[in-house]
Structure 1
Amino acid sequence: MTIDVTGTSDVEDRSETLPESRILRYSAFTHDPAGGNPAGVVLDASGLDGAAMRAIAAEVGYSETAFVTGGDAASRRFRVRYFSPLAEVAFCGHATVALAVALAERLGPGEIVLDTPAGEIPVSTTADDAGAVRATLTSVPARSRPARAAELDATLRALGWTAADLDPALPPHVAFGGNDHLVLAAASRARLADLDYDFDALAEVMRRHDWTTVDLVWRESPERFHARNPFPVGGVVEDPATGAAAAAFGGYLRELGLVTRPATIAIRQGEDMGRPSDLLIDVSPDDPRTRVTGQAVPIPR
């Protein structure tokens, strides 16, 4: 099926590689290509199998690349798969934002729907007077449960943290917003900033429990958090902006009763690795879905 947003036919894609010009690069959750989280975007991957998409994601080298595998511009509905350099993931927030902005730049702002392995993801896109595009994705229903002692102990050992490094007011949970993420709240900003973990040990723990990232957070205020997301299972030391973890974090806040009315929460991520990123999440006590908002900008070649 041809996805008519590239101006070329799907015949070109029926190989295991793509011309460089067909791989778009965006940085998500930023207005500056030097910040945010880079994502690859392939607008027509209808002729690629999973192995080819994984190989392209590895060549691109970003934490994730989004591949449009079907759909059409007329309905503004598309099928999407996401690959890290090492494996397929069910859902990726920052690559979703990057893809939505790329589509809005070609089709015009408005509503689109993405059919992902995690479920249906509606995305609303808008453009300001300068043409900058902002995307708001609505996650699948988010949920959260307390972390088990064995899960927590193994993760703390791999991180080189102790129980004293955690904020007792924000208990460890495994949260879901399309993927599972272990949420650990640091007791101080300094603890969050000092991240030097055992890559292989943490990857082994995460593979055992099928976690996509470990979502390390610090609460600056009830409406503002700082975050870091180790991602060794994807072959990446750290994610500069993690929309899927932000969606899951919305479920975490709701489960803990920390959101008693509709609220917008700001998450600052990537600062400690030199790629500052800004994510906004809208959370309501009456709605299990989290809305995640951010900009994305093309990365100059």
Structure 2
Amino acid sequence: MARNYAIYDVFTDRKLAGNPLGVIFDGEGLSDEAMQAVASELNLSETVFVQPADHPLHTARIRIFTPARELPFAGHPTVGTAVALAERSHDLGTNGPLDLVSVLEEQVGPVRCAVKLRKGEAGFAEFTLPRNSSQHDFALDRQAIADALSLNTTKVGFENHVPAVWSAGVPFLLVPVHDLATMAALEFDPGLWERMAPMCDGHLTSAYVYCRGGVHHSARFHARMFSADMGISEDPATGSAVAALSGAIHQFDGLPNGHHALLIEQGIEMGRPSHIHLHIDVEDDQIARARIGGQAVRIASGILDL
């Protein structure tokens, strides 16, 4: 069967940057094993399989696979798929600028996305987190964490920020480090990480390393992500990790009530700069809602013969 697909670069407004995403538009009828095999064949950070929505008012159901396993939720697949489906369904040459809302059914639950399309520009999508970030209580060995990142323990942590496991659907061991120089110097050892990282929700937690500041003048945080469990040596942009990070930022920085707009950069060390927009609304000293957004640009399309 001929199945249409496209590849988008996500969390960027230019091609060959950001995080590449495979979108299989005709994902209905494929077995779990076949979808995993296709994701492994494409070998992108994630591949999405679009299927008919269960709810008639929702846009689509999507299944998200890394080269190694399925994910219940992920950021760059949500942004990229929302833009891809909007561009596939609407002709900007006829309709002009377009603003719409779509709902994607993911394993974590329905995810509401706002999409903006402008002729000659990369599409933009922003989604509301289906669940707020929460901390998981694990005893963590700072020395073991430092060893797995090839760092001195004095470089782990800054200000009030300490290593901790957070999740907004996908758990990550968030590791704050001192500065950009530390970020550039670290070397991830998957063997050491597998021996020390806790299991959470049935999977080994991935490493999300971050520091304050960034190469881009507007970046509030700079990040890198490594996953021995997902089959990803390093990820250029990880929206689900930024979703988890929202809880850590609120707790460690003591965000006051109000709206907080933050830019997180990732992929710099890989030569694939990515920019993830995080918005946190705090009410009564708690996160009331959080949103993640970014741009996506198509770089390829074709037919998958399966």
TM-score by length of 2: 0.84
Q: Distance in 2 between matches of 1:138 and 1:44?
A: 25
Q: What is the aligned partner in structure 2 of residue 171 from structure 1?
A: 162
Aligned letter for 2:223?
A
Larger relative contact order (CA 8 Å, sep ≥ 6):
2
Q: What is the aligned partner in structure 2 of residue 265 from structure 1?
A: 262
Q: What is the aligned partner in structure 1 of residue 147 from structure 2?
A: 157
Q: CA deviation at 1:80?
A: 1.2
Q: Is the 8 A contact 2:282 2:289 kept in 1?
A: no
Q: Does 1:93 align with 2:75?
A: yes
Aligned letter for 2:294?
G
Name the SS for the 1:274 alignment partner. Answer: coil
Q: CA deviation at 1:198?
A: 1.2
Q: Does 1:117 align with 2:107?
A: yes
Q: What is the aligned partner in structure 1 of residue 174 from structure 2?
A: 183
Q: CA deviation at 1:155?
A: 3.0
Q: Distance in 2 between matches of 1:145 and 1:72?
A: 31
Q: How does 1:237-248 map to 2 (within 5 A)?
A: 237-248=233-244
Q: What is the aligned partner in structure 2 of residue 199 from structure 1?
A: 190
Deviates more, 1:206-215 or 1:261-270: 206-215
Aligned letter for 1:245?
A
Q: Distance in 1 between matches of 2:47 and 2:110?
A: 18
Q: CA deviation at 1:205?
A: 4.4
Q: Is the 8 A contact 2:7 2:299 kept in 1?
A: yes
Q: CA deviation at 1:284?
A: 1.5
In the alignment, which of 230, 248, 251 is matched to residue 226 of structure 2?
230
Q: Distance in 1 between matches of 2:219 and 2:136?
A: 22
Q: Is the 8 A contact 1:146 1:172 kept in 2?
A: no
Q: How does 1:11-26 map to 2 (within 5 A)?
A: 12=1, 19=2, 22-26=4-8
Q: What is the aligned partner in structure 2 of residue 281 from structure 1?
A: 278
Q: Distance in 1 between matches of 2:72 and 2:136?
A: 22
Q: Distance in 2 between matches of 1:197 and 1:144?
A: 25
* Unmatched segments (≥5 aa) in structure 1: 1-11, 13-18
Q: How large is the RMSD of aligned CA atoms in angstroms?
A: 2.4
Q: Is the 8 A contact 2:246 2:280 kept in 1?
A: yes
Distance 1:37 1:103, change over 3 A: same
How many residues align? The count is 283
Q: Distance in 2 between matches of 1:211 and 1:152?
A: 17
Distance 1:203 1:79, change over 3 A: farther
What is the identity percentage for the equivalent residue pairs of Structure 1 and Structure 2?
A: 32
**As a proportion of its length, which structure holds more helix?**
1
Aligned letter for 2:276?
L
Distance 1:198 1:100, change over 3 A: same
Q: Distance in 1 between matches of 2:63 and 2:84?
A: 16
Q: Is the 8 A contact 2:101 2:113 kept in 1?
A: yes
Q: Distance in 2 between matches of 1:66 and 1:249?
A: 23
Q: Does 1:132 align with 2:129?
A: no
Aligned letter for 1:250?
S
Q: Distance in 2 between matches of 1:249 and 1:161?
A: 21
TM-score by length of 1: 0.86
Aligned letter for 1:97?
V
